[in-house]
């Protein structure tokens, strides 16, 4: 996974405490959910022989609760004389005016801490954390690529003695979009009691579980009168936001029958899509909160004139189309990877620039096709696809 650099940076910062408190007495680890922020802290505490005092920040919402929980722990050494590490996990969970005392108390603890304090959050640049952030060393954790997630899942399968089809591993990795925690949870649920994992096993579980969760979120988005309820539904559910966007976009015209309501909802979704594009181009995950607000609260508040009526949710056509062509896209990607290795191109460029000419050769010149198949190490299914027979 390549969050090795931030992990090493965190380790060096913790070790620097042996020379006395550093300039920043707290480290704020930030990045998308499921990328290993918490487990990195727990693993480092174990490796360095430190006592870990771990608290969920969303449960410590008042100054009194924070001080009672870790205030003294930040000032005294352990009974054994070893090091202590304090972790405030999920800082994003602190919400609302009633929680301001909690944030202030955490900031106060950091200023006088005599041991390392680590905080985790999805978005370090939330305005609520502006003062707190100035006292922290910021360390960013990023999403691993699909290839890295798949490699990690294959390693787990090898250690657990599970034989898994490559297509099954790839599909788990793709559906979790870089969320290692969710991918490992899916793998564990799918492989429980099995010696072999197939593509059919993966498709069955994912379509069953995730569809029910998405229906719950959709009900909150389209039928809630309170924008906070719509946002909380997304926070409470393990739902991929890109997938959820497609569901909301597909169902808005069916759920919002009044043209004025639908126009407002579509405008909110259009703005959310603009932010999604900006995130893809800049990797600025701080913009994600605008996507969530617009596609949930924005759509929920647009329902002003449409009367209450039960309308079944519809599976998104765009996702259905992608599912129907998954096999062909997978084949093209596999051939592109083989071309890329030989021609020193990216798989994407190979598919776009080389594959069309390769198909012409395979359909019209059997002798040259035979040589190219050997050179590229193409299997029988790939040859059939290029010749138009499969």
pLDDT in tens, 39-80: 899 999 889 988 888 877 655 445 555 656 565 555 555 555
Residues 25 and 130 reside in one and the same domain: yes
- Taking residues 354-380, what's their average pLDDT? 87
Residues 23 and 105 reside in one and the same domain: yes
Instruction: Pick the range with the lowest mean pLDDT from 79-88, 112-121, 377-386.
Output: 79-88
> What is the share, in percent, of the chain residues with pLDDT greater than 70?
83
**CA 302/CA 287 separation, integer angstroms:** 22
Residue 99 lies in a domain: yes
Residues 298 and 350 reside in one and the same domain: no
Q: What is the pTM for the complete model shown? A: 0.49
Q: How confident is the model at residue 207 (pLDDT cuts 50, 70, 90)?
A: very low
Instruction: Pick the range with the lowest mean pLDDT from 87-96, 148-157, 301-310, 377-386.
Output: 87-96
* pLDDT > 50? residue 279: yes
Give the pLDDT confidence score for residue 156 in this predicted structure: 92
pLDDT in tens, 236-260: 666 677 888 888 998 999 899 899 9
Q: What is the DSSP letter of 143?
A: P
Residues 259 and 236 reside in one and the same domain: yes
- Helix/strand/coil percent split, the chain, to 5: 65, 10, 25
Q: How confident is the model at residue 100 (pLDDT cuts 50, 70, 90)?
A: low
The H or E element spanning position 81 is none
Residue 345 lies in a domain: yes
Residue 30 lies in a domain: yes
Residues 162 and 265 reside in one and the same domain: no
Cα 210 to Cα 215, 247, 364: the distances in Å are 9, 12, 45
* pLDDT > 70? residue 280: yes
Give the pLDDT confidence score for residue 98 in this predicted structure: 42
Q: Which two tokens stand for residue 84?
A: 């202590």
Residues 226 and 303 reside in one and the same domain: yes
Give the pLDDT confidence score for residue 137 in this predicted structure: 94
Give the pLDDT confidence score for residue 11 in this predicted structure: 94
Q: How confident is the model at residue 325 (pLDDT cuts 50, 70, 90)?
A: low
Residues 283 and 375 reside in one and the same domain: no
Residue 85 lies in a domain: yes
Instruction: Pick the range with the lowest mean pLDDT from 69-83, 154-168, 207-221.
Output: 69-83
At residue 264, the 3 state secondary structure works out as helix
* pLDDT > 80? residue 107: yes
- Is the sign of the CA dihedral 26, 27, 33, 36 positive or negative? negative
Q: What is the total count of domains within the chain? A: 4
Dihedrals φ, ψ of 214, to 5°?
-65, -40
**DSSP code per residue over 1-22:** ---HHHHHHHHHHHHGGGGS--
Residue 153 lies in a domain: yes
Residue 203 lies in a domain: no
Residues 177 and 216 reside in one and the same domain: no
**CA 328/CA 335 separation, integer angstroms:** 11
Give the pLDDT confidence score for residue 72 in this predicted structure: 58
Cα 356 to Cα 62, 210, 335, 344, 374: the distances in Å are 63, 36, 12, 17, 18
Residues 330, 390: contact at Cβ < 8 Å? Answer: no
Q: Write down which residue in 317, 339, 361 finishes a domain.
A: 317
Residues 131 and 154 reside in one and the same domain: no
Q: How confident is the model at residue 82 (pLDDT cuts 50, 70, 90)?
A: low
- CATH code for position 188: 1.10.8
* pLDDT > 90? residue 208: no
Give the pLDDT confidence score for residue 209 in this predicted structure: 47
Average pLDDT score over the chain: 81
* pLDDT > 80? residue 269: yes
Residue 202 lies in a domain: no
Q: Write down which residue in 317, 335, 370 finishes a domain.
A: 317
Residues 8 and 113 reside in one and the same domain: yes
Q: Which domain holds residue 13?
A: 4-140
Residues 273 and 338 reside in one and the same domain: no
Residues 270 and 362 reside in one and the same domain: no
Q: Which two tokens stand for residue 216?
A: 């719950």
Residue 205 lies in a domain: no
* pLDDT > 90? residue 349: no
Residues 102, 69: contact at Cβ < 8 Å? Answer: no
Residues 343, 354: contact at Cβ < 8 Å? Answer: yes
């Amino acid at each position: 996974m390549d969050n090795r650099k931030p992990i090493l940076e965190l380790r060096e910062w913790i070790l620097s405490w042996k020379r006395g408190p550093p300039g920043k007495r707290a480290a704020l680890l930030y990045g998308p959910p499921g990328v290993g922020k918490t487990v990195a802290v727990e693993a480092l505490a174990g490796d360095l022989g430190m006592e870990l005092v771990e608290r969920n920040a969303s449960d410590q919402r008042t100054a009194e609760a924070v001080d009672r929980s870790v205030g003294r722990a930040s000032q005294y050494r352990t009974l054994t004389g070893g090091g202590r590490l304090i972790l405030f996990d999920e800082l994003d969970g602190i919400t609302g005016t009633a929680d301001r005392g909690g944030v202030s108390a955490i900031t106060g603890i950091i200023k006088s801490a005599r041991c390392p304090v680590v905080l985790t959050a999805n978005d370090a640049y939330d305005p609520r954390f502006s003062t707190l952030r100035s006292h922290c060393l910021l360390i960013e954790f990023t999403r691993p690529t699909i290839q890295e997630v798949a490699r990690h899942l294959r390693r787990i399968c090898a250690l657990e003695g599970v034989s898994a089809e490559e297509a099954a591993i790839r599909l788990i990795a793709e559906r979790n979009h870089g969320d290692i925690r969710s991918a490992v949870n899916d793998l564990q649920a799918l492989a429980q009691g099995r010696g072999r994992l197939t593509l059919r096993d993966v498709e069955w579980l994912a379509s069953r579980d995730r569809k029910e969760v998405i229906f719950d979120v959709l009900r909150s988005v389209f039928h809630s009168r309170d924008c906070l309820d719509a946002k909380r539904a997304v926070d409470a559910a393990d739902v991929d936001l890109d997938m959820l966007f497609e569901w909301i976009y597909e169902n808005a015209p069916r759920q919002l029958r009044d043209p004025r309501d639908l126009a407002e909802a579509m405008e909110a979704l259009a703005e959310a899509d603009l932010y999604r594009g900006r995130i893809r181009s800049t990797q600025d995950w701080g913009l994600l909160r605008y996507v969530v607000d617009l596609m949930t609260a924005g759509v929920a508040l647009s329902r002003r004139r449409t009367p209450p009526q039960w309308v079944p949710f519809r599976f998104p056509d765009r996702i259905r189309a992608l599912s129907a062509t998954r096999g062909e896209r997978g084949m093209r990607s596999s051939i592109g990877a083989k071309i890329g290795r030989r021609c020193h191109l990216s798989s994407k460029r190979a598919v776009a620039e080389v594959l069309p000419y390769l198909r012409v050769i395979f359909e019209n010149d059997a002798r040259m096709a035979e040589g190219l198949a050997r050179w590229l190490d193409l299997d029988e299914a790939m040859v059939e696809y290029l010749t138009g027979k499969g």
